[in-house]
Amino acid sequence: MRIIISPAKKMNHDSDTLAAMGLPVFLSETEKILNWLRGQSPEALQKLWGCNDKIAAQNVERITAMELKKNLTPAILSYEGIQYQYMAPAVFEEKMLAYVQKHLRILSGFYGVVKPMDGVTPYRLEMQAKADIEGRGNLYTFWEKKIYDEVMGEDRVIINLASKEYSQCVEKYLQPQDTFITCVFGEFSGKKVVQKGTYAKMARGEMVRFLAEKGADRPEAMKDFDRLNYRFHKELSTADEYVFIRETIEE
């Protein structure tokens, strides 16, 4: 069973807490992307990133000095988004780190696929960025089927905790024999189920932590998830979509 998650825009450098245990599998492709980025003007990069002047300047500087093979941070500690905050990997027990290293994969526009303990460097590049590398138009075309092939394990079961921007890199190539289960973390608004971005990100991080604590190797283990006031909703769920409803507490 593999679990896929999205990266986070905000990243940090921390080579002291834990040492990286390897390099991302598609580093040669990452080198091509880095070379392409270095060939763009600062103005073009800022447009590509869709960010303010301060963030653009920081990331232009990163690209200029970037090293892909040394002074790296384990990916699971480098990403700082809400999902990673609620996963709280810095306080994982050793068995939990071993679990995520085996089961968890982080999808990335820059690296393709990253294992939790792979060494990475801070970068800014979303999968949906219009990066025309090698004349392929965008990153989805650049990566093609590589991401799917890398994350699909022997049992052909994937738990999708990634956003649509990233999960489509895998969904597009699914085969009839694959099991692909997307988790929906929502709440009722009238009779409709709506997902609220921040709460969903929090729940995705908590779900990774929950599965790591349990040492889960079957999707059914997710049905016991009961954190952040979420509960599995059997009637709304299907074989390929597990729905968790948040119980809101009235003030």
- Tens digits of per-residue pLDDT, 120-164? 999 999 999 999 999 999 999 999 999 999 999 999 999 999 999
Q: Quick one: pLDDT at residue 249? A: 61
Q: Is residue 22 part of a domain?
A: yes
pLDDT at position 189: 84
* The pLDDT of residue 18: 82
Q: Global pTM?
A: 0.95
Tens digit of each residue's pLDDT (9 = 90 or more) over 59-104: 999 999 999 999 999 999 999 999 999 999 999 999 999 999 999 9
Interval 162-181: pLDDT, tens: 999 999 999 999 999 999 99
Mean pLDDT of 219-224: 98
**Within a domain: residue 138?**
yes
User: CB–CB of 123/231 below 8 Å?
Assistant: no
Q: Of 45-49, 108-112, 191-195, which range is least confident?
A: 191-195
Q: Roughly what angle, to the nearest 10 degrees, separates helices 197-214 and 94-103?
A: 110
* Predicted local distance difference test score (pLDDT) of residue 61: 95
Check pLDDT > 60 for residue 251: no
Instruction: Render pLDDT for 183-209 as a digit per residue (tens, 0 to 9).
Output: 999 999 888 888 898 999 999 999 999
In a domain, 23, yes or no: yes
Mean pLDDT of 100-112: 98
For the record, the structure tokens of 149 come out as 């092939």
Q: In the numeric block, which tokens belong to residue 134?
A: 């090698």
| 251 located within any domain | no
The predicted pLDDT at position 1 comes to: 96
Give the structural domain span for 149: 2-246
Nearest CA to 33 out of 133, 125, 161 is that of 133
What is the rounded average pLDDT of the residues 234-239?
96
Three-state SS across the chain?
CEEEECCCCCECCCCCCCCCCECCCCHHHHHHHHHHHHCCCHHHHHHHHCCCHHHHHHHHHHHHHCCCCCCCEEHHHHECCHHHHHHCHHHCCHHHHHHHHHHEEEEECCCEEECCCEEECCCCCCCCCCCCHHHCCCHHHHHCCHHHHHHCCCCCEEEECCCHHHHHHHHCCCCCCCEEEEEEEEEEECCEEECCHHHHHHHHHHHHHHHHHHCCCCHHHHHHCCCCCEEECCCCCECCEEEEEECCCCC
Residue-level pLDDT at 199? 95
What is the tally of structural domains in the chain?
1
Flag whether 168 is in a domain: yes
